[in-house]
């Protein structure tokens, strides 16, 4: 009988200028990253800087806006969500993209609403940079953590000069 290998789920909470960020994952990849006051979920082991991820997050907020670009992620999601999230990771710091443009990039030009839903279900905010998605008119649109946080992030990355 083969014994299944269970990977530990680690948690770290990092203070940032836009609020506490909770990281969940393994030594190999981030599975969830949320702005939240919540502590570790049941079953997660509190382990500061597991995988070196908190250090990269601190570097990002310290001014190295490239620090999260190659951070390994393993978010749960549908094949379509995964496709949208992969494409979204190609939108670098200092850049923005509209929902419609993102839909075109994943070869679904009529699926901007579905792209928006995939964006809303992104469990690895900041690393999969849903804050870089704006309306087709160039205006800031919804963000799970509020438009003030979105505005701060875009300014931090040099994408928003207002």
As annotated, the active-site residues are 130
Alpha carbons within 13 A on the beta-carbon side of 49: 5
In the DSSP assignment, the letter for residue 35 is E
Structure tokens at 60: 């990002």
Structure tokens at 105: 């990039």
Inter-axis angle of helices 112-120 and 79-88, to 10 degrees? 90
Structure tokens at 152: 């701060």
């Amino acid at each position: 009988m083969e014994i299944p290998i269970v990977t530990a789920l680690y948690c770290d909470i990092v203070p940032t200028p836009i609020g506490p960020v909770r990281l969940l994952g393994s030594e190999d990849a981030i599975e969830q990253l949320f702005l939240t006051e919540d502590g570790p979920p049941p079953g997660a082991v509190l382990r500061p800087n597991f995988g070196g991820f908190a250090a990269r997050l601190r570097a990002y907020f310290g001014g190295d806006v490239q620090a999260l670009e190659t951070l390994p992620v393993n978010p749960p999601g549908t094949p379509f969500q995964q496709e949208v999230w992969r494409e979204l990771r190609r939108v670098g710091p200092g850049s923005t993209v509209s929902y419609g443009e993102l839909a075109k990039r994943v070869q679904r030009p009529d699926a901007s609403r579905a792209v928006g839903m995939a964006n809303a279900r992104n469990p690895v905010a900041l690393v999969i940079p849903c804050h870089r998605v704006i309306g087709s008119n160039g205006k800031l649109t919804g963000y799970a953590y509020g438009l003030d946080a979105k505005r701060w992030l875009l300014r931090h990355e040099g994408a928003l000069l207002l």
